[in-house]
Structure 1
Amino acid sequence: MTRLLYDLCGIDEDLRFSPYCWRVKYALAHKGLDYQTQPWHFTDKDAIAFSGQGKVPVLVDGDETVTDSYEIFRYLDRVYPDRPLLGGQPAEARARFFKFYAERNLAPAVIKTVMMDLYNAVAPQDRAYFRETREKAFGRTLEEVHAPSRGLSQLDLALEPLRARFGEADFVDGDEPAGADYLLFGTFMWARCVSAADLVSNADPVHGWVERMLDLYDGLGRKAQRSIDSVGAAEPESP
């Protein structure tokens, strides 16, 4: 049976922007595993009700259904042990640090930078849901969250540990990429897919890592659809 990944889509079905789904796509490519994607919308909860929850990614692998990007990493390492993503227990514990670092340090800075670009990349039928749920979570309007200057300044500080790392190696995990790289890079793919904003300058060591990540696996990230290329991108919906 073909593996199936339920993958968040936006203003057209080829625009896939979930950072968590991007983590999984890179993990599957790392393992050399074939899969197909099923485009999914925020409001299409019934389509993944079988998974027992309402978020993507959802990976269906034969009789197995796995949710949550990190749990999918663990599943892939257990079932397909060649080319580990996380490694043994000490390595996995370190990888969890990068999971939290991406979600609690990088993502908040990125969301300030691209919030309204993200809103306009969301499928029209999902925008009311997106606005309601995100404004409830942030306790303010999307327009108030959107603060690119503050976001970029916050991101600049958050990236300092990575700059030091890329002075030593090409990837977070060393000479070759693995789980930590994919856990972090999902956030960069999220921003790249929904926005034309430059998160880092060309002279930044992090930029070199981003370029290397984009070229991996026959240009998996570089070939991805972006909202600036999507149908309807030139006519964003007004709030």
Structure 2
Amino acid sequence: MIIFYDIPSNLPVKAWSPSTWKTRYLLNLKGLPYRTEWVEYPDIAGLLKSFALPPTEPDDPLLPYTLPAIYDPKTKRAVAESAVIAAYLDDEYPETPAVIPKETRAFHAAFQYAFRATVQSAIAPLFLPRQLPCLTPASQPYFRCTREQMFGAKMEDICPPSKWAMQWAEIERAFGVVAGWLDGASDGRVTFLGGATSALSHADLSIAGWLLWMQFVVGKESEEWKAVERWHGGRWRNLLDVLEPYFDHSR
């Protein structure tokens, strides 16, 4: 059974991280047996170093070690970073659905770079401060300290409520850019590569992970989330609907 390392929260759905949800979705999609070990933020670097893994973000001096990570007892290998994990599981378990076929790996790397610059950079100022009280007491001080260093401001000043409307507009604009990338999909609704649920890609899982984070923080019944569901013809609601069979957070 694969060990999956995730970050806990005090939300009803304990699994919250947009990055780790990519791998949780992946394991569920592939139908691979796994169990979760929860790792608090201050313990992530020590965990990955114990496996002699290199930094997942080598160019980031503030947060060089991040989750997700897995340990596969079949091969006695630890693997970190969601795209690296996806490629590893595609190669090691070829009988399962592939999400980053080898011929698309350069393409997926380019997508991740562009998605981070376009969408993640728009989401972070609004959602990182609102995520803080959702974390466990063991992780909150570390999260606050590192994110305040990241933005050069107190957590409460990164995006105060007076700026929420402006930042929501920026997030919607950023997702509109991604919607433009996706308009070539054959069904015009969801997927980045195959245009069908049988061809879900790591790009799809990445987008869904960030959407879930937004949903968890603001609440599924909030007016904020209902607005997101209406964006771009309901594309993002449709993506989460397609992935609903793989929304297993119980393990």
TM-score by length of 2: 0.77
CA displacement, residues 154-185 of structure 1 (integer Å, 9 cap, x when unaligned): 11221223333257243222122221101222
Query: In the alignment, which residue of structure 2 is the partner of 1:154?
Result: 170
Distance 1:155 1:199 in 2: 14
Query: In the alignment, which residue of structure 1 is the partner of 2:67?
Result: 56
The runs of 5 or more residues in structure 1 that have no matched partner are 225-239
* Range moving further from structure 2, 183-192 or 55-64: 183-192
- Partner of 2:230, secondary structure, is coil
- Partner of 2:42, secondary structure, is coil
Distance 1:13 1:125, change over 3 A: farther
Distance 2:233 2:72 in 1: 34
Query: In the alignment, which residue of structure 2 is the partner of 1:168?
Result: 188
Distance 2:131 2:8 in 1: 12
* Range moving further from structure 2, 194-203 or 63-72: 194-203
- Partner of 1:132, secondary structure, is helix
User: 1:198 aligned to 2:232?
Assistant: no
Distance 2:158 2:243 in 1: 33
RMSD: 2.5
Distance 2:156 2:7 in 1: 23
1:211 CA drift (Å): 3.8
Q: How many residue pairs get matched? A: 221
CA displacement, residues 109-166 of structure 1 (integer Å, 9 cap, x when unaligned): 1122223320111111221111111111111121222242232121122122333325
Distance 1:142 1:69 in 2: 27
One-letter code of the match for 1:84? A
Distance 1:179 1:12 in 2: 25
Distance 1:79 1:200, change over 3 A: farther
Query: In the alignment, which residue of structure 2 is the partner of 1:187?
Result: 210
Query: In the alignment, which residue of structure 1 is the partner of 2:135?
Result: 122
Distance 1:40 1:206 in 2: 38
TM-score by length of 1: 0.81
One-letter code of the match for 2:35? Q
The runs of 5 or more residues in structure 2 that have no matched partner are 56-64
Q: Given the alignment, which residue of 115, 119, 122 partners 1:109?
A: 122
- Partner of 2:235, secondary structure, is helix
- Partner of 2:91, secondary structure, is helix
